[in-house]
Structure 1
Amino acid sequence: MGILQIAIVIVILILLVKPLGTYLYHVFSNEANRTDRWFAPIEKAIYAVTGLKNRSGMTWKMYGLSFIVTNIVLVGAGYLILRLQTLLPLNPNGIGNMEQTLAFNTVISFMTNTNLQHYSGETGLSYFSQMAVITMMMFTSAATGLCVAIAFVRGVTSRGERIGNFFEDFVKAHVRVFFPLALIVTLTLVALQVPQTLQPALTVNTLEGGEQHIAIGPVASLEAIKHLGTNGGGFFGVNSAHPFENPSALTNVIEILSMWSLSAALPYTYGLFARNRKQGWVIFSAMMILFLLFLSLVYAAESAGNPVLNRLGIDASQGSMEGKEVRFGIAQSALFTTVTTAATTGSVNNMHDTLTPLGGITPLALMMLNCVFGGKGVGLVNMLMYAMLAVFLAGLMVGRTPEFLGRKIEPREMKLIAIAILAHPLIILAPTGIALAAELGKAAISNPGFHGITQVLYEYASSAANNGSGFEGLGDNTPFWNISTGIVMLLGRYISMIALLAVAGSLASKQWVPETLGTFRTDNRLFVGILVGTVLIIGALTFLPAIVLGPIAEQVTIR
């Protein structure tokens, strides 16, 4: 039954890929289509109000500068709101101002689409902060990532130096993608008993005669964009394990598909831009193969149960249910864990800190690879980066100048790709080493030994991949962790974005090279295998020693 549940969700996803991918192409291709009838008037009104009259194409430098400046302005506004929330409206529970290092971490976290939460939402934020900062940044950060991905795709598939206008793409991402989809998902969740209200916390009488305060609020609307935008920040501290955020198996499937569908559809969109749908299916196939490998690992590990409990003779026929909700079981917990880290969402319906050591490898590895579907555009861009690397290596083997989509890949592109590939493990492993050596870092570890190493490694992997989930046994709400993870989130978001935009700009400026018999094909099954192998080899070379010191060593000791 567990495998059947997983298979049904995957089949539904595959059926959604083509229509969603086609829709995204129509949104960003700047060609007239039927959606203009509904959305063009709204966009024209926004352009008029904002004074955005000139929407000509930008170079990669101007595009990158535009999204960075936009993000800086939003970060400044969000920080002020969190620091002054006691003076602002919609605070019926009287929640105080957020501490400065925590406010820094929070605004960076949500602007970088990470949504790492070192606070508990129901007690740390007013309703106004939840909507004006958290929900707002969930829309804007997701839109930013999607825009950069589309600009990158234009750069590698078009024949001009212009890769689009960031502000036009930014408006379209909101008006035509995230707002309508969020409205549909919100109404669906409300119909399935997820709260959506501005009333203060409920006060109820307990059986012992006391009073209990039950937090509620605008939960459904935050849940919708949290998953559609692959944000992951929960209204409640325990995220989608909370019965108000995720009350049933049906809402669980809706949330899985919400955070997975757009990311899975983007490779098909890329194929349409490239005028070769096989290119898109090759990227999708490589992602799905890697996804199924890691899903199989966590499902098998959790189904086998905890080796320590098994030796004690405790019934493990249901697998390892520690930290999991009975309403979801092993299958939907394992699938949610894999999707949320593959799509760099960070939402959780079970506590990753309680996964078996082998099961914990799956979320860790997916964040370290950061190219298996990914967040809004992250997975596609990173997988295309690996595709270029694979073509370059194959070209070296046969003594031919490598070409990708009719453009020669030369030293400039490879240097930029090397920066993006090497920066990711550096900003994970270097801070992990510092935290394990410093008292300020070690003080947060709740479970010394190999599991403690995994806790620290997971925190920085989640920050660098802009995922946001955590091994919540780590006491991370301290100035050391707030500042260090904030810096890692910034580097993890913007280094790769800028480097890969530069790659797109460089390729866009090159002359197109006609395909010949000697051209290495990138639209067949052989290239799928080469691409999967390249990702796994690079990932193993950079991260395997750290995984051996953490979850693998823990698995060996408990056996």
Structure 2
Amino acid sequence: MNTELLGTVATYLLTLVIAIPLGIYLAKVFAGEKVWTDFLKPIENGIYKLSGINIKEQMNWKQHMKALMTVNLVWLVYGFFMLLFQDKLPLNPDANPAMTPDLAFNTVISFVANCNLQHYSGESGASYFIQHFVFMFLQFVSAATGIAAAVVFFKAFRDKTTNALGNFWEFFVKAITRLLLPLSLVVALILAFNGTPSSYAGKDQFISLQGDTVNVSRGPAAAFVAIKHLGTNGGGWFGANSAHPLENPSYLTNTVELIAQVIIPIAMVIAFGYFIRRKKLAWTIFGVMTIGMLMLLIPMMSSELGGNPAIAKMGVSQLTGAMEGKEVRFGPAISAYWSTVTTIISTGSVNSMHDSTMPMSGTWQLLGMMINSFYGGCGVGLLNYFIYLIIAVFISGLMVGRTPEFLGHKVEAREIKIAALITLLSPFMILAGTAIAAYVFTTHGDAAWAVQPKAWLNNPGFHGFSEMLYEITSSNANNGSGFEGLGDNNMFWNVTTGIIILLGRFLPIIGPVAIAGLLATKKFIPESAGTLKTDTKTFAIMTMAVILVLNALSYFPALALGPLAEYFTLFN
């Protein structure tokens, strides 16, 4: 057990060793300073010339968001029609069928939005062509979209007063050429040399020890899994995701995949501080995020290592912890760590089955996605955190009787209204979506449009409610993981979660960028003795209080009906 805990600590420390210098590097890249990857400039210039892009043309925040939304719409249309005609496209050695329109709708939105909520089973639901030229392509560009949006946010606070926030296409291209592609190459090579398939061969066949003939899917999975984690996408090549022995063969690959999904979210926080020349602010934000992560991780590890009290009552020893749904080659400690980081970050990949975790672990997983700002996804984690920060600035300003300010710019009614709308958006979609699902499940069991909702749940009690709550929460957080006891590939869930994913992705990007863009155009106010400092321990505590209070008020009733109620049934 001590070895398991040591492995978890070592994994996180290795992550920091990579993420911190990576953040400094990213600040220099996006600031246009000299870095060792400048040899890629000719390739980037070729892309700009071929695409008709003038990177010297400065954009304001509205132009950035117009470019972002337009190109994402193009990808959505492209992916939708590719999925509808999958069976007629090449590189389909296993003869996987085309997707239905509602499944294609859900799937393409999910991959465009960096969510990767998979209502299909990876190896049997998508061909090699789709996995590579639709899904893997979207995993690169969706991650680059979030990073580019974050850099626009950076630019807004670098200069005192400005309306020139750089060029979206430059940020987007550099996010791929200078970050995602090089790191993906390294991770893919490590995975390929440690057992993850990397060929275009079809299914292999072998005879099991019991004498059964087993067909095992293969394919070029190593490259896919690399960007799946580095881009905080999370979609698995195989249906079992990183619990699959070919997608995640060993403890070494498990560590590599864990590090890969955390380094860019942390690096973007560090990059923010170095980019705007306020390092202390970045470290303050990082401190709040890390404390928040530990507040979820420690009780989750305790829950999983402690075993199941219902089984303990039967006199069964659980020296290894709660092992249901976990891989023996990993164990409960590192599985709990994975479950924590994959839900606080919008990765959503799994190396164990979340549906089998202890009820209190489910609570922490849900809270991680509900808060959605402890590290968060590529770029968007910092944008989500900024909404809490602005609210903390506003409340603090009211408490001391001064006009709220952030980095020398007054925070006024318009910015607070945007922040309030974004803050209310998540609880509304999560609670309303879960309420609609529960209503359909209980009252429309025979309706044709509901596709037999009585068959959704194998556990219609407290755990069944948790499964529906988790699905909606995961969609809103653009996470993509699920309590897989829920039967989700039907018209209701495909359409409902597709809409929630779309809104949960783009509105929380547009809102913070709009606030930053509006603040950037305001007159800069030099610091004075009465200026509220946002890089202090006191303000960090204030921000954490805002995060905890807002989420407790929003979600405690729903959590009480699901995982908390299930937890107390264990002692009956």
TM-score by length of structure 1 reads 0.98
Partner in structure 2 of residue 92 of structure 1: 93
1:460 aligns with 2:472: yes
Number of aligned residue pairs: 558
Deviations 1:41-82 (A, max 9, x none): 110111111111354121111110101110010111111111
Match of 1:293 in 2: 295
Q: Which of residues 333, 336, 340 in structure 1 aligns to 2:335?
A: 333
Is structure 2 residue 141 aligned with structure 1 residue 167? no
Partner amino acid, structure 1, of 2:83: L
> Whole-Å Cα distance in 1 between the matches of residues 207 and 55 of structure 2?
60
CA distance in 1 between partners of 2:184 and 2:371 (Å): 28
Q: 1:436–1:442: 8 Å Cα contact kept in structure 2?
A: no
- Which of 531, 534, 550 is the equivalent residue of 1:519? 531
Aligned to 1:427: 429
Q: Do the aligned residues in 2 keep the contact of 1:259 with 1:345 (CA within 8 Å)?
A: yes
Q: Residues 139 and 178 of structure 1 are in contact (CA less than 8 Å); yes or no, is this contact kept in structure 2? A: yes
In the other structure, the counterpart of 1:72 is: 73
Distance in 2 (CA, whole Å) between partners of 1:163 and 1:258 is 29
Taking the aligned partners of 1:530 and 1:299, their CA distance within structure 2 comes to 27
| Partner in structure 2 of residue 276 of structure 1 | 278
- For residues 366 and 258 of structure 2, what CA distance do their matches in structure 1 show? 19
Q: Is the 8 A contact 1:435 1:442 kept in 2?
A: no
Question: 3-state SS of the aligned residue for 2:302?
Answer: helix
> 2:127 matched to 1:126?
yes
Q: Contact (CA 8 Å) 2:105, 2:495: kept in 1 or not?
A: yes
- Match for residue 546 of structure 1 among 547, 551, 558: 558
3-state SS, counterpart of residue 466 of structure 2: helix
Structure 1: distance between partners of 2:113 and 2:42 = 30
Match of 2:307 among 285, 305, 308: 305
SS in 2 for 1:359: helix
Residue identity in the other structure for 2:488: D
**Cα distance in 2, alignment partners of residues 453 and 390 from structure 1:** 33
Contact 1:162/1:508 (8 A) holds in 2: no
Q: Aligned equivalents of 1:328 and 1:142: distance in 2?
A: 28
Say whether residues 1:204 and 2:206 are aligned partners. yes
Are 2:410 and 1:412 equivalent residues in the alignment?
Answer: no
Tell me, in whole angstroms, the C-alpha distance in 1 between the residues paired with 2:211 and 2:193: 33
Counterpart-to-counterpart distance in 1, 2:177 and 2:417: 37
Query: Contact 2:463/2:563 (CA < 8 Å) preserved in 1?
Result: yes
Q: Please, which moves more after superposition, 49-58 or 98-107?
A: 49-58
Q: Would the alpha carbon gap of residues 184 and 454 (structure 1) be closer, same or farther in structure 2, given more than 3 Å must change?
A: same
Give the CA deviation at 1:522: 1.1
Q: How far 1:207 moved relative to its partner? A: 4.5
Distance 2:56 2:426 in 1: 34
Partner of residue 149, structure 1 = 150
1:528 matched residue in structure 2: 540
Deviation at 1:34, TM superposition (A): 2.6
Displacement of 1:342 in angstroms is 1.2
User: 3-state DSSP class of the match of 1:196?
Assistant: coil
Q: Percent identity?
A: 45
Question: What SS does structure 2 have at the residue aligned with 1:141?
Answer: helix
The residue number in structure 2 matching 1:381 is 383
> How big is each residue's C-alpha offset from its partner over 1:222-270, in whole Å with a ceiling of 9 and x where there is no partner?
1100000000000111100001011111111111110001101111111
**CA apart distance, 1:18:** 2.3
SS in 2 for 1:254: helix
Per the alignment, in what secondary structure is the counterpart of residue 366 of structure 1?
helix
1:253 match: secondary structure: helix
Q: 2:33 corresponds to which residue?
A: 32
* Match of residue 447 from structure 2: none
Matched-pair contact (CA < 8 Å) for 2:37–2:178? no
Partners of 1:271 and 1:279 within 8 A in 2: yes
The one-letter amino acid of 1:556's match is F
Give the partner amino acid of 1:114. C
Task: Tell me the residue number matched to 1:47.
Answer: 48
Comparing 107-116 with 15-24, greater Cα deviation is found at: 15-24
| Structure 1 unmatched ranges of 5 or more | none
TM-score for the superposition, normalised by structure 2: 0.96
**Superposed counterparts of 1:155-234, under 5 Å:** 155-158=156-159, 159-207=161-209, 209-234=211-236
Q: Distance in 2 between matches of 1:42 and 1:138?
A: 21
Match of 1:203, SS state, is: strand
CA contact (8 A) 1:157 1:405 kept: no
8 Å Cα contact 1:417-1:499 kept in structure 2: yes
Please tell me the residue identity of whatever aligns with 1:35.
W
Aligned equivalents of 1:62, 1:383: Cα separation in 2: 23
Letter in 1 for 2:225: E
Match of 2:353 in 1: 351
1:390 and 2:392 aligned: yes
SS in structure 1 opposite 2:23?
A: helix
**Separation in structure 2 between the aligned mates of residue 210 and residue 295 of structure 1, nearest angstrom:** 41
In structure 2, list runs of 5 or more residues that go unmatched. Answer: 445-449
The amino acid of 2:221's aligned partner reads V
